[in-house]
């Protein structure tokens, strides 16, 4: 294992989070929220890490969480000019994320030109999903190119697959129903350690009711919203003003909704649990049965009432072990970078 520090960077649409790992152990953390300028925010984050004793020249590598790798980037990779170009090619698929990933990648390259950089992709874990599950029922024409289900939260699910056997001391269950429940929420059908289905699709807006995202909707309803509001306003509504926030009329925070006695808050909770269980049935079908259930993410790990409601709705599937697995996405990204650094391609 590489012994020097690895810098893990996660550039969101309006945030930057950074963590430092040495031999797989987190030793420092910094972040910046509500950032209009990711370059300036990165400077503040790097200054904070330097104040903690982790200057840029102390790192063996920088590793990035990248939301979209498209069809070409199905595994973690060293960032070369070709890989950078492929990340850029995916900007139309993730316009709120991939541009910021590239901005941070380029900023690190400017600060430390010789520092190796690596990327792990949220879409990569789902590269094993069969075509019948990723293909929309559309004709294959130039106009429909790239319109398919990709799936997201893949780094979270890949980390869960690694962590669960360590946590239980038992082999990974053959048919594992995994819930990543947070402000973004999805389910993954994991058979023999590989994704065979997931609820998110072309974008992270598909599937479950989420904090501010609508989840699944009839395409005709989406088109009607676009006609009424215009495309940009409809997109904003579906992505930033729907989900728990839209249903409750008050908050996207599950803790606040659980503490509220308002009818809208209760409806939002019911909706979240109902659609989580309903989509779970589809994922169980994709696996051909069920051997265990795992929860991760902020809601999945901490909201016992929500877990219990979903599990009660899934009693029909049988009595199977249920696990709570703390999210370990950043540690996974660091391990992926370390493994690549030890491989023959890096040595060459």
Q: What digits encode the pLDDT tens for the residues 324-348?
A: 999 999 999 999 999 999 887 665 4
What pLDDT does 138 receive? 98
DSSP-derived pairing of the beta strands 77-78 and 117-121 = antiparallel
Instruction: List the domains of the chain with CATH numbers.
Output: 5-121 (3.30.420.40), 170-324 (3.30.420.40)
Kindly state the tokens that stand for 280: 């779970």
CB 331 within 8 A of CB 301: no
Question: Low-confidence residues of the chain, pLDDT below 70?
Answer: 1-3, 34-35, 345-348
| 51: number of Cβ within 10 Å | 11
pLDDT digits (tens, 9 = 90+) for 98-117: 999 999 999 999 999 999 99
Q: Which residues are catalytic?
A: 122
So what's the pLDDT on residue 35?
A: 65
pLDDT for the residue numbered 3: 52
Which residues, 6+ apart, have CB-to-CB distance to 159 below 8 Å? 327, 328, 329, 331, 332
pLDDT attached to residue 4: 80
**The predicted structure's pLDDT at residue 2:** 43
Structure tokens at 202: 């072309």
């Amino acid at each position: 294992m590489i012994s020097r520090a690895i810098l893990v960077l996660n550039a969101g649409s309006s945030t930057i989070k950074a963590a430092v790992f040495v031999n797989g152990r987190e030793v420092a953390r910094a972040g910046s929220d509500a950032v209009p300028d990711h370059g300036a925010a990165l400077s503040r984050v790097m200054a904070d890490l330097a104040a903690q004793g982790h200057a840029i020249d102390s790192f063996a590598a920088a590793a990035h969480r990248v939301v979209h790798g498209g069809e070409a980037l199905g595994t973690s990779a060293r960032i070369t000019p070709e890989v950078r170009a492929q990340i850029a090619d995916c900007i139309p698929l993730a316009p709120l994320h991939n541009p910021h990933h590239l901005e941070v990648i380029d900023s690190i390259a400017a600060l430390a030109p010789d520092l190796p950089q690596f990327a792990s992709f949220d879409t990569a874990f789902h590269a094993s999903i069969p075509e019948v599950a990723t293909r929309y029922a559309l004709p294959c024409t130039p106009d429909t190119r790239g319109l398919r289900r990709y799936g997201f939260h893949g780094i979270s699910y890949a980390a869960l697959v690694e962590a669960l056997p360590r946590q239980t001391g038992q082999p990974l269950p053959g048919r594992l129903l995994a819930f990543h429940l947070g402000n973004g929420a999805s389910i993954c059908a994991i058979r023999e350690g590989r994704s065979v289905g997931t609820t998110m699709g072309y974008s992270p807006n598909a599937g479950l009711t989420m904090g501010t995202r609508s989840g699944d909707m009839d395409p005709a309803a989406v088109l009607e919203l676009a006609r009424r509001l215009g495309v940009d306003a409809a997109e904003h509504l579906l992505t930033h003003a729907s989900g728990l926030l839209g249903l409750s009329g008050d908050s996207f925070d599950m803790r606040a909704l659980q503490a509220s006695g308002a009818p809208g808050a209760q409806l939002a909770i019911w909706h979240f649990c109902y659609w989580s269980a309903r989509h779970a049935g589809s994922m169980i079908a994709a696996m051909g049965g069920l051997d265990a259930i795992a929860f991760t993410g902020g809601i999945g790990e901490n909201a016992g009432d929500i877990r219990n409601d979903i599990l009660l709705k899934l009693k029909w599937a049988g009595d199977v072990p249920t696990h709570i697995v703390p999210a370990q996405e950043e540690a996974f990204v660091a391990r992926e970078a370390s493994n690549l650094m030890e491989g023959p391609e890096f040595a060459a």
